[in-house]
Structure 1
Amino acid sequence: MPADLPPTLDPVAAERWAARALTASPWLHEEVARRMGERLDVIRLPVQQWADWEPVRGGLDGHALVAKRYPDAKCFWVSAQAGSALAATKKEAKPWWRRLASGAPRERVEHVLAPPDASVQLVWGNMLAHHVAAPQALLAAWHRALAVDGFVMFSCLGPDTLKQLRALYGRLGWPAPAHEFTDMHDWGDQLVAAGFAEPVMDMETLTLQFESPERLLAELRELGRNLAVGRFGALRGRDWRARLLAELDQGLRQPAPGGPLTLTFEVIYGHALKPAPRHAVAGQTHIALDDMRASLRTRQQNSRRS
């Protein structure tokens, strides 16, 4: 069973990154959101309400794709940074006259810290979980938000991410450039431990190429920060940055010294269902009224389908 906390992730650094206000979404997160959205094609469950966890970080274009798929559904926009979230939506929203001209309905969105319990049929969590210091608490929050038979879809980075950069830092004797990311099988175990059923996990490897080390570093800063517990604890100087750029330029060009700088990103995708609660058989059993109602609704729906 995986540990409650990722062993190489600094929780204080993770909290600071989560508190950082963003008004734009990283390009890679948008691309992953598009790919994850394609996986919704195989899921036919109805969605009346859904929740997007930290959509500015996960991808505003990706949010729009899901909203377009479920045009009549209400969305709970879950964000700890309400101010930056509202600024981002205003920045991305079409002017009212363009919405009227296109005939597109206005999305029903409510900005919340957490959705009401058992209120949504879909939880969408794109490229968030690998930055969280307490992943089991995040999965528990997703589970609480979902109604029975609702489902979660999420993505995150896997352990092969930045393997070229990790190797380079290792050869130079430097601390790790990032904390270690959780394996997809461990994510599956954590989903089951959180009460989800039928978890499906898969992964793909994306290879990004950069013309210069400066552009590579800019891309990495958009994606996050080094949250490793063993990272260098002080400020770096100009001489170190110059050496870093030189080492990147020399060590990451593939397949030949004149080629582009190359980095690998392992992307993990997962989805799982929230099943009806199971009641243990004992001499005396206490069942919450909400759980009993959920079980009765599920039985009635199953009987109508059969």
Structure 2
Amino acid sequence: MSRSDSFDLDKARVREAFARAASTYEEHAVLQREVQERMLGRLDWVRMQPEQVVDLGCGIGEALDHLSRRYRKARLAGVDFAPEMVARARRRGRWLRRPQVVCGDLEALPLAEQSFDLAVSSSALQWCASLDQAFMEVRRILRPGGLWMFTTFGPDTLRELRAAFATVDGGAGTHVNAFMDMHDIGDALVRAGFADPVMDQEALTLTYPDLTGLIRDLRGVGVRNALSGRSPGLFGPRRLVAVAEAYARDFGVEGRLPATWEVVYGHAWVPDAPPPSRPAGRVIPVQPIR
């Protein structure tokens, strides 16, 4: 499943945004860190001792520290498509036990087939143009019996911001990235050949004193409007003031502006069966992580 029309992603713009955010991510990633910790906590329910673990869309590598403590004997790897993020993630761990982090796209992973027992990903899948392609790639690199655990965001994410923009421009522009429904994500897992998929969701809300604080946090973690159909040109100061006024009028509570994030959690297993056939003509660059 891929996005269509004005909701297609400009992947070059996404990479550029995350490259800029590499130095500020840790400071602003309050929500992303909370979601990541909740996802990793779910590994308490899983009885497995993986030998090879990979974090897909690892960012600056915060999850790699957790995974290193949890699975002390495992070899850790990470993949991110922003070189500046990769450089920071490579500094994680101790001198003799640093993760092997490579630069690559989740939809064309530079990893060997059946090379991992556990793959995790937090707050990254929403930047994939084709979720089907991403899931097929994860299915390819996992061994039979392997586990795929992830988080992403659903369509109610930043609904207040989207509504405030629509109030000002009448819905004529696309100012907030699109997010997929939880049920569509579960269907994509099945199409990719995963077994026993489990999906659930929850809403988390951050509050800000003003719109500037929200935008600062979003840009600080690399969240920018990366839609190919985004409105041309910059949203000028006067219109941003109008958006802030609409936001405060329609959603403000006691001088604070809420920002809702619909967090989607999922996990599934790799069965001992061949994966579904991949469409012809797709060439995937592959290199062993070792």
- With the shorter chain as reference, the TM-score category is 0.7 to 0.9
Q: CA deviation at 1:208?
A: 0.9
CA distance in 2, matches of 1:222, 1:8: 27
Q: Which residue of 2 aligns with 1:36?
A: 39
Tell me if 1:76 matches 2:77.
yes
Partner of 1:245: 244
Contact preservation (8 Å) 1:82, 1:111:
no
Q: 1:13 maps to which residue?
A: 10
- Distance in 2 between residues matched to 1:191 and 1:202, nearest whole Å: 14
The answer as to 2:112 corresponding to 1:111 is no
- Alignment partners' CA distance in 1, 2:4 and 2:181: 13
The offset of 1:170, in angstroms, is 2.7
The AA in structure 1 aligned to 2:4 is P
- For 1:75 and 1:170, locate their aligned partners in 2 and report how far apart those are by CA, in whole Å: 44
> In terms of mean alpha carbon deviation, does 152-161 or 62-71 score higher?
62-71
Match of 1:180 in 2: 178
The CA deviation at 1:64 is 1.4
- Give CA deviations for 1:83-114 in whole Å, capped at 9, x if unaligned: 54123543xx47xxxx6xxxxx8534222342
Name 1:217's counterpart in structure 2: 215
The one-letter amino acid of 1:138's match is A
User: Match of 2:107?
Assistant: none
Supply the AA of the counterpart residue of 1:48: E
Deviation at 1:33, TM superposition (A): 0.6
| 8 Å contact from structure 1 (residues 74, 108) kept in 2 | no
C-alpha spacing 1:135/1:244, structure 2 compared with 1 (3 Å)? same
Distance 1:279 1:231 in 2: 36
Distance 1:141 1:72, change over 3 A: same
Match of 2:284 in 1: none
Q: Which moved more, 1:177-186 or 1:125-134?
A: 177-186
* 1:121, distance to aligned residue in structure 2 (A): 0.5
Q: Distance in 1 between matches of 2:58 and 2:274?
A: 33
Structure 2 residue 160 is matched with structure 1 residue 164: yes
Q: Percent identity?
A: 30
Distance 1:161 1:191 in 2: 21
Q: Closer, same or farther in 2 for the Cα pair 1:186/1:259, shift >3 Å? A: same
In the alignment, which residue of structure 1 is the partner of 2:188?
A: 190
1:10, 1:133 within 8 Å by CA — same for their partners in 2?
no
Bigger CA radius of gyration: 1
Decide which structure has greater helix share.
1
Q: In 1, Cα distance between the equivalents of 2:36 and 2:130?
A: 23
Question: Runs of 5+ in structure 1 lacking a partner?
Answer: 100-104, 281-306
Cα RMSD for the two superposed structures: 2.4
Q: d(CA) in 2 for partners of 1:88 and 1:147?
A: 25
Residue of structure 1 equivalent to 2:226:
227
Secondary structure of residue in 1 paired with 2:193: coil
The normalised TM-score by structure 2 is 0.81
Aligned pairs, number: 261
Q: Larger RCO: Structure 1 or Structure 2 (Cα < 8 Å, ≥ 6 residues apart)? A: 2
Report what 1:61 is aligned to.
62
| Alpha-carbon distance in 2 for matches of 1:221, 1:273 | 34
